[in-house]
Amino acid sequence: MRKINIGIIGLGTIGEGLFRIINSQKSSIRKKFNIEINIIKVCDLDYKLAKKLKIEKKLFTNNYNQIVEDPKIDCVVELIGGTTIAKTIADKTLKFNKHFVTANKALIAMHGNTLSRVATKKNLHLMYEASVGGGIPLLNSIKESIIINEIKSFHGILNGTCNYILSLMAEGKEFNSALSEAQKLGFAEADPTLDINGYDTAHKVCVMAQECFGYSPNIKKIHIEGIEKINKIDLDVAKELNCKIKLIGKGKIKGKDLSLSVNPMLLKKDNPLFNVENEFNAVLIDSKNLGPIMKYGYGAGMLPTASAVITDLIRLNTDISSKAMQISKKYNLLNINDSKSRFYIRFFVVNKSGYLAKITSKFAKYKINIEKIIQNPHIANLKKVPVVITTKKSKFSELDKLLSEVHKSGLTSKESIMIPFEE
């Protein structure tokens, strides 16, 4: 029987779930895996949360050093998030020769490569299954099997909060009330700005790029857009076009070129991600030999995410080298400006004769081929009316220039949006 003594830092949603699962399933984990997971100490800012979980005072500390420095502890589980204190905890954990398990995508996106090198050198595990896709068995199955094949691309709905908001808005809910529901249900970040502005997805895209392509990107070089500008009108028009709008994080390689991006996209019915609704996450991975596969499940929440942390703890007795992050590839990271797609563009156009003609003349100027124009008639008595233009395949940079020119001209309000079709 192998014993693992752990210290948990952070008793928030995931910490609580971890505590509950270990306590309730200790004997079944022992039977199934021949491993006993013992919680030696837990740390949080104050005793309140520990008290709620009936954790004895002697198991509790508010000083994480008492966990990272405790010689009885083999593995530190960091569940506080962020990249400042969490980074110090990670460094110290490895310094004190302990394994490090985390759900922290921002930490792994920014420092995973460095931490992994230190851990491997010291024959320690750095594990982070819960950092992408919440409870979905994703990163370890990439490391253990999918990576055997050459991964060509991944496309994912990687943020439950955004997917929940977009799903509810498509049914008529307002943005803010959908967001507060997501917060109440516990899958929004402590600061939901990170969910909404696409940065949570971007951290996950960085981690996926490390796992799938062996490339550690600089997040500042990735095109990141969130869902702030999506209006209910966009979801209605998307429906008319037999599409849905989803926030997609993706990575794709073509020879030596790599594209990484986070932005809302229009998905058609035949896209496997089309039916992924509410807080669910899903990732589509395309690789040589295997072809496309999709992983689907809860991307957030107390018990699913805690379950992913436990799978890391169980894997602690496997070979280190098979688990270490393999960063070795150099790619030419493509700029979104050079990408081409069909686009959905929505303007709020001044409701006067000739304004639409002036806008479409800009499309002619930039040689952008219009496919469809939709103006919603029942709201056409407003001072500014929503007008949607879909285009044939066009270059991102040209449309971007067109949009700024239209804004400057005063023909529309400044809230226009351009969304690529995923095809």
Confirm if 185 and 305 have CB atoms less than 8 A apart: no
Contact set for ligand HSE, span 3-62 (CB under 6 A): none
Q: Which amino acid is at 227?
A: I
Contact set for ligand HSE, span 78-97 (CB under 6 A): none
Mark the segment that binds ligand HSE (CB under 6 A) among 159-167, 248-256, 319-327, 408-416: 159-167
Mark the segment that binds ligand HSE (CB under 6 A) among 34-42, 158-166, 231-239, 348-356: 158-166
Confirm if 22 and 37 have CB atoms less than 8 A apart: yes
3-state class of 415 per DSSP?
coil
Per 3-state DSSP, what percentage of the chain is helix, strand, and coil (rounded to 5)? 40, 25, 30
- DSSP for 291-309? EEEEEEEE-SSHHHHHHHH
Contact set for ligand HSE, span 287-306 (CB under 6 A): 299-300
DSSP at 221: G
74 touches ligand HSE by CB under 6 A: no
Binds ligand HSE by CB under 6 A, chosen from 156, 160, 217, 249: 160
Q: Across the strands, what pairs with 76?
A: 7, 100
Distance CA 193, CA 291 (A): 35
> Measured from the CB atom, is 206 or 300 closer to ligand HSE?
300
What are the angstrom distances between the C-alpha of 205 and each of 112, 125, 233, 248, 278? Answer: 13, 22, 28, 10, 20
422 touches ligand HSE by CB under 6 A: no
Active-site residue, from 41, 204, 250, 295: 204
Q: How far is the CB of 126 from ligand HSE (least distance, A)?
A: 18
Closest to 309 measured CA to CA, from 78, 32, 51:
78
Q: How far is the CB of 370 from ligand HSE (least distance, A)?
A: 36
Confirm if 275 and 163 have CB atoms less than 8 A apart: no
> Measured from the CB atom, is 159 or 394 closer to ligand HSE?
159
Mark the segment that binds ligand HSE (CB under 6 A) among 24-32, 144-152, 155-163, 320-328: 155-163
312 touches ligand HSE by CB under 6 A: no
Q: How far is the CB of 222 from ligand HSE (least distance, A)?
A: 17
> Measured from the CB atom, is 191 or 415 closer to ligand HSE?
191
What radius of gyration do the chain's Cα atoms show? 24
102 touches ligand HSE by CB under 6 A: no
Encoded tokens for 62: 């508010």
273 touches ligand HSE by CB under 6 A: no
- Decide if 383 is catalytic: no
CA dihedral 360, 363, 369, 371 (to 10 degrees): -40
Encoded tokens for 328: 């070795």
3-state class of 311 per DSSP?
helix
Q: How far is the CB of 290 from ligand HSE (least distance, A)?
A: 26
Mark the segment that binds ligand HSE (CB under 6 A) among 59-67, 143-151, 181-189, 315-323: 181-189
Mark the segment that binds ligand HSE (CB under 6 A) among 108-116, 154-162, 237-245, 338-346: 154-162
Binding flags for ligand HSE, 190-219, as an x/- string (CB under 6 A): -----x----x-------------------
283 touches ligand HSE by CB under 6 A: no
Q: Which amino acid is at 385?
A: V
Mark the segment that binds ligand HSE (CB under 6 A) among 165-173, 187-195, 231-239, 245-253: 187-195
Give the binding-site size for ligand HSE (rule: CB under 6 A).
11
Binds ligand HSE by CB under 6 A, chosen from 13, 153, 159, 259: 159
| Biggest alpha carbon–alpha carbon distance for the chain | 80
Q: Which pairs from 57-60 meet CB under 8 Å and 24+ separation?
A: none
Q: How far is the CB of 187 from ligand HSE (least distance, A)?
A: 4
3-state class of 188 per DSSP?
coil
Contact set for ligand HSE, span 376-415 (CB under 6 A): none
Confirm if 91 and 83 have CB atoms less than 8 A apart: no
Distance CA 102, CA 304 (A): 14
Binding flags for ligand HSE, 126-145, as an x/- string (CB under 6 A): --------x-----------
Contact set with ligand HSE (CB under 6 A): 134, 159-161, 187-189, 195, 200, 299-300
Residues catalogued as catalytic: 204
